[in-house]
């Protein structure tokens, strides 16, 4: 499915989100930078990187960091490789978010954007992301969520349940864009997501709604190292 939509993925997301996704990723990264103030950020992993949009922005926000993108879909990675060549490079690896092919405590920050709804086991995904983080590291997971304001919530569901699939039909990708609203129905609520992050071993978990809660940036950290004896 993701191979089929790879070449039009970013363009469709910009159109389907009415351009709001141009704001969501930079805003989430700005919050991450603020939360990491005073901490060194040398290495970043973008899990489920797709065509590399978040990874490219992270490289601009954290210019001293080495950014690695991982995705299950080779076609997405091939596009990420081409597009990153215009903006300073990057490292692109094919692999699963549920079994990350890196040693533990490898990264200072682990990112994902619109990945969570695609994971068949969220807890396993979060545990793998936590395993990747060094003490003092940070997790940022950006995902579409239930809006907080009732009127916005009703409009959101009307749009994503009916308009987005119709746009998918118009561009010859009906199946993938029917999948989008269906995948959102299986996501936990914000409070349940925070509880799941804690159950997966994270501390200092925070949910930051954006655009009236249409998306939420989740932040968390691995526990500090145990004191030496």
Q: What is the pLDDT of residues 174-216, one digit of tens each?
A: 455 556 666 677 789 999 999 999 999 999 999 999 999 999 9
Number of domains composing the chain? 1
Residue 3 has pLDDT above 60, yes or no: no
Burial class from Cβ neighbours inside 10 Å (0-12, 13-18, 19+) for residue 182 reads: exposed
Higher pLDDT, 86 or 219: 219
Is 68 inside any structural domain? yes
- Report pTM: 0.87
Domain membership of residue 36 (yes or no) is: yes
CB 207 within 8 A of CB 140: no
Question: Is there a contact between 140 and 29 (Cβ–Cβ < 8 Å)?
Answer: yes
Please tell me the number of Cα atoms within 13 Å of 80 on its side-chain side. Answer: 28
pLDDT in tens, 105-146: 999 999 999 999 889 999 999 999 999 999 999 999 999 998
Report whether 183 contacts 161 (CB < 8 A): no
Average pLDDT estimate for 29-49? 96
| Residue 175 domain-assigned (yes or no) | no
CB 136 within 8 A of CB 39: yes
Q: Would 19 be classed as within a structural domain? A: yes
Q: Is residue 199 part of a domain?
A: yes
Phi (first) and psi of residue 211, to 5 degrees:
50, 55
Q: What is the pLDDT of residue 229?
A: 39
Does residue 117 form part of some domain?
yes
- Is residue 166, in this structure, part of any structural domain at all? no
Q: Provide the residue range defining the domain that includes 209.
A: 2-146+188-221
Span of 48-62, 65-79, 104-118, 158-172 with lowest mean pLDDT: 158-172
- Edge-to-edge strand list for the sheet holding 133-144: 91-94, 66-71, 43-47, 107-113, 133-144, 215-221, 203-210
Q: Which residue has the higher pLDDT, 4 or 82?
A: 82
Model pLDDT, residue 169: 57
Q: Write down the mean pLDDT value for the chain.
A: 86
Give the CATH number, domain containing residue 77. Answer: 3.40.50.150
Give me the percent of the chain exceeding a pLDDT of 90.
Answer: 62
Q: Is 85's pLDDT higher than 60?
A: yes
Of 179, 180, 172, 178, the C-alpha closest to 4 is 172
Q: Is 119 left (phi over 0), alpha (psi -120 to 50) or beta?
A: beta
**Does residue 226 lie within any of the structural domains?**
no
């Amino acid at each position: 499915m993701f191979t089929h939509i790879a070449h039009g993925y970013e363009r469709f997301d910009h159109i389907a989100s009415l351009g709001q996704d141009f704001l969501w990723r930079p805003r989430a990264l700005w919050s991450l930078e603020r939360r990491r103030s005073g901490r060194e950020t040398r290495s970043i992993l973008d899990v489920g990187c797709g065509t590399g949009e978040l990874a490219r922005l992270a490289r601009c926000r954290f210019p001293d960091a080495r950014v690695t993108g991982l995705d299950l879909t080779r076609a997405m990675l091939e596009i990420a490789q081409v597009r990153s060549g215009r903006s300073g490079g990057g490292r692109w690896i094919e692999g699963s978010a549920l079994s990350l092919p890196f040693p533990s405590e490898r990264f200072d920050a682990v990112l994902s954007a619109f990945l969570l709804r695609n994971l068949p086991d969220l807890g396993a995904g979060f545990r793998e992301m936590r395993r990747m983080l060094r003490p003092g590291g940070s997790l940022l997971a950006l995902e579409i969520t239930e809006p907080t304001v009732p009127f916005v919530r009703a409009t959101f569901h009307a749009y994503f349940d009916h308009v987005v699939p119709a746009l998918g039909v118009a561009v010859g990708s009906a199946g993938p864009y029917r999948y989008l609203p269906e995948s959102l129905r299986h996501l936990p609520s914000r409070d349940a997501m925070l509880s799941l992050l804690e159950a997966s071993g994270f501390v200092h978990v925070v949910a930051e709604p954006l655009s009236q809660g249409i998306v939420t940036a989740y932040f968390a950290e691995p526990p500090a190292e145990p004191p030496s004896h």
